[in-house]
Amino acid sequence: MNIRELLNQKVLNAMATVGVPADLPALIAPGKKSGFGDYQANCAMGAAKAMGTNPRELAAKIVAALDLAGIAEKVEIAGPGFINIDLKPEWLGEQIAKAQSDARLQVEQVSNPQNVVIDYSGPNLAKEMHVGHLRSTIIGDSLARLLEFQGHNVIRQNHVGDWGTQFGMLIAELEEQLGAKGDEAMALKDLEVFYQQAKKHFDDDEAFANKAREYVVRLQSGDAQMLKLWEQFKTISLHHSTEIYQQLNVTLKDTDVRGESFYNNDLAPVVKELQDQGLAVESDGAQVVFLQELADKEGNPSPMIIQKQGGGFLYATTDLAALRYRVNTLKANRIMYFIDARQSLHMQQVFTLSRKAKFVDESVSLEHLAFGTMMGSDGKPFKTRTGGTVKLAELLTEAVERAGALVSEKNPDLSADEIAEISRKVGIGSVKYADLCKTRTNDYIFSWESMLSFEGNTAPYLQYAYTRVQSIFRKAGVTPESFTNAIIIGTEQEKTLAIKLLQFSEVLDQVAREAMPHLLCTYLYEIASLYMTFYEACPILKDGIAPEIRDSRLRLCHLVAKTIEQGLDLLGIEVMERM
């Protein structure tokens, strides 16, 4: 139980004792500034209103009934009826000791694990992964790691675009190039170039275009030769994505791929079911659902096409089928979609219709966790200098190179191997952190300078804070892993740091609830900053420091390092021993 939960329970007990109705909340929060207490209960004003009494008097009664023996050293009423709680340093020391000697840092496993389906990354296999897929991939992965750490059963689903008309063109091109070169890996070495060749071929050569059209039809009717070419194409294209996932330290595996094609056989039944329910109607030869729930200002319902004139199915049809699979087969309790904000209407339609058609009942939480666009320094969507899409592979290579230059400049004594490893962790970490630390729903400007800075809320700053702690242990010649000495919270800096460290699980709960990784970034940045302040004010290895103070501070440092390491790991970012 974290501090907030503990205080919450204690204050609720006191409220019950003095007759406050049971449904009123205790409203516990960390004190915002000094003079607010370490924690503050904000319950008395609301309760007094509900009970028709004076808030300060009620607060005084609650405080009198409040049993915080051994936990708080001071409980005070402030302002109109706030209850300020100052925690006892001895108690804080005991909590820190428990966290420091626990591999999970006192983060409990959830008591009610859910089946959480996380839909993320989802590149289109016709093309190479580009920066547009970066945000979904890293934000989704961070939530997958975090929910798994909390003890949920996370089911990753990589909804790749592996179906659609352009595959006729692509496999026709593959067939021709294979005839000429005989090596599919060679032909598809650069998917981007391959796609352009196919497209040009399609535009310039009428016979080829006809063949491509014929191939789609054959592919869709299950022709073995076409399927074989398509499989070849998919395998290689997926391989490109897998390489990026490894480079990015993203946990998606090949077995998490559940692409659009997986649902092919379910599409006709979805349409039939919607027709049977009277939800889908014919309109200009297409099958359309008109959603009054999403009507525009004039009251016109929002049209959702689920089958084209001529029989083709759509992106939306596939998403409806995927939802049914996730609920019926994967038994999802919560489904999280990390998809660009520009697909909001699509997601709203899919969610609204699946509820309406009873594909999904109310107990299942459906969440479109939209994110904004990554912008270039010109404030327009991030592009290459010539206006092309930026390939993810190239962006990551550049990140590692830039980090390498910084690292070797900062620490010329490192070996080439060390530099290579550190630059990989710093470079990739910087790109990921720069994205994760921004409020998910906003657009943000991509900037090499700020993401690679050793100052401020960046990956290098946190990685550096971690290495600083490690260097203290090297200097002291100890690993505080097995220390059992008492933790003495003697100074203001130690107290502030200790309280912040003990909020780790509260922060994780909030990130898990809101799917907002930036809250974890902010928290880790605060830890690192408070650590620096503590380090300035509280000498550790200096001559004349009493051994029990020294060992206590070493344990505190150790918990700082473990928290940063664990927190960064949940963001998919690695630490290093030195940099």
The C-alpha angle 369, 370, 371, rounded to 5 degrees, equals: 125
Taking residue 531's Cβ as centre, other Cβ atoms within 10 Å add up to: 24
Residue closer to ligand ARG by CB (options 106, 241) is: 241
Which of 209, 206, 125 shows the shortest CA–CA distance to 173?
209
122 binds ligand ARG (CB under 6 A): yes
| Nearest-approach distance from CB 527 to ligand ARG, in angstroms | 34
Binding mask 264-303 for ligand ARG (x = CB under 6 A): ----------------------------------------
Query: According to CB under 6 A, which residues from 313 to 342 bind ligand ARG?
Result: 319, 322, 337, 339
Query: According to CB under 6 A, which residues from 367 to 426 bind ligand ARG?
Result: none
Residue closer to ligand ARG by CB (options 352, 563) is: 352
The C-alpha angle 196, 199, 200, rounded to 5 degrees, equals: 85
| Nearest-approach distance from CB 257 to ligand ARG, in angstroms | 12
Collect all residues with Cβ–Cβ distance below 8 Å to 156 and sequence separation of at least 6: 118, 120, 144, 251, 252, 253, 256
Residue closer to ligand ARG by CB (options 354, 470) is: 354
| Nearest-approach distance from CB 337 to ligand ARG, in angstroms | 6
Do residues 158 and 256 touch, judged by C-beta distance below 8 A?
A: yes
| Nearest-approach distance from CB 163 to ligand ARG, in angstroms | 10
Residue closer to ligand ARG by CB (options 65, 341) is: 341
The SS3 assignment for 157 reads strand
The SS3 assignment for 199 reads helix
Taking residue 114's Cβ as centre, other Cβ atoms within 10 Å add up to: 18
Distance CA 566, CA 575 (A): 10
The stretch near ligand ARG (CB under 6 A) out of 10-18, 118-126, 410-418, 545-553 is: 118-126
Residue closer to ligand ARG by CB (options 130, 468) is: 130
Distance CA 524, CA 459 (A): 10
The stretch near ligand ARG (CB under 6 A) out of 117-125, 415-423, 445-453, 538-546 is: 117-125
The stretch near ligand ARG (CB under 6 A) out of 116-124, 221-229, 233-241, 537-545 is: 116-124
Residue closer to ligand ARG by CB (options 336, 419) is: 336
| Nearest-approach distance from CB 120 to ligand ARG, in angstroms | 8
| Nearest-approach distance from CB 403 to ligand ARG, in angstroms | 28
Query: According to CB under 6 A, which residues from 140 to 169 bind ligand ARG?
Result: 159, 161
| Nearest-approach distance from CB 319 to ligand ARG, in angstroms | 5
Residue, CB closest to ligand ARG: 122
| The two three-digit tokens of residue 484, written as one number | 């059992």
Residue closer to ligand ARG by CB (options 194, 337) is: 337
The SS3 assignment for 374 reads strand
Give the torsion sign (CA, 513, 510, 39, 71).
positive
| Nearest-approach distance from CB 146 to ligand ARG, in angstroms | 20
Residue closer to ligand ARG by CB (options 24, 370) is: 370
Write the burial class of residue 388 (CB in 10 Å: 0-12 exposed, 13-18 middle, 19+ buried): exposed
| Nearest-approach distance from CB 44 to ligand ARG, in angstroms | 47
Residue closer to ligand ARG by CB (options 143, 322) is: 322
Number of residues that bind ligand ARG (CB under 6 A): 9
Distance CA 250, CA 405 (A): 25
Query: According to CB under 6 A, which residues from 335 to 374 bind ligand ARG?
Result: 337, 339
Taking residue 151's Cβ as centre, other Cβ atoms within 10 Å add up to: 16
| The two three-digit tokens of residue 59, written as one number | 């607060």
Collect all residues with Cβ–Cβ distance below 8 Å to 394 and sequence separation of at least 6: none
Q: Which of 8, 100, 114, 124 binds ligand ARG (CB under 6 A)?
A: 124
| Nearest-approach distance from CB 237 to ligand ARG, in angstroms | 13
Do residues 130 and 524 touch, judged by C-beta distance below 8 A?
A: no
DSSP secondary structure code for residue 130 in this structure: B
| Nearest-approach distance from CB 161 to ligand ARG, in angstroms | 4
Which of 44, 66, 65, 43 shows the shortest CA–CA distance to 55?
44
The stretch near ligand ARG (CB under 6 A) out of 61-69, 119-127, 369-377, 520-528 is: 119-127
DSSP secondary structure code for residue 391 in this structure: B
Residue closer to ligand ARG by CB (options 322, 540) is: 322
Strands 280-283 and 39-41: unpaired
Distance CA 133, CA 390 (A): 11
Residue closer to ligand ARG by CB (options 109, 344) is: 344
Residue closer to ligand ARG by CB (options 134, 286) is: 134
DSSP secondary structure code for residue 66 in this structure: -
Computed on alpha carbons and rounded to an integer, the radius of gyration of the chain in Å comes to 28
Rounded to the nearest 10 degrees, the angle between the axes of helix 392-410 and helix 416-436 is: 120
Residue closer to ligand ARG by CB (options 124, 166) is: 124
| The two three-digit tokens of residue 19, written as one number | 């007759």
Going along 26-81, which residue ranges are E strands? 28-30, 39-41, 72-78
Residue closer to ligand ARG by CB (options 44, 271) is: 271
| Nearest-approach distance from CB 134 to ligand ARG, in angstroms | 12
Give the torsion sign (CA, 354, 359, 362, 368).
negative
Going along 245-317, which residue ranges are E strands? 280-283, 286-291, 302-307
| Nearest-approach distance from CB 340 to ligand ARG, in angstroms | 7
| Nearest-approach distance from CB 379 to ligand ARG, in angstroms | 23
> Which chain residues interact with ligand ARG by CB under 6 A?
119, 122, 124, 159, 161, 319, 322, 337, 339
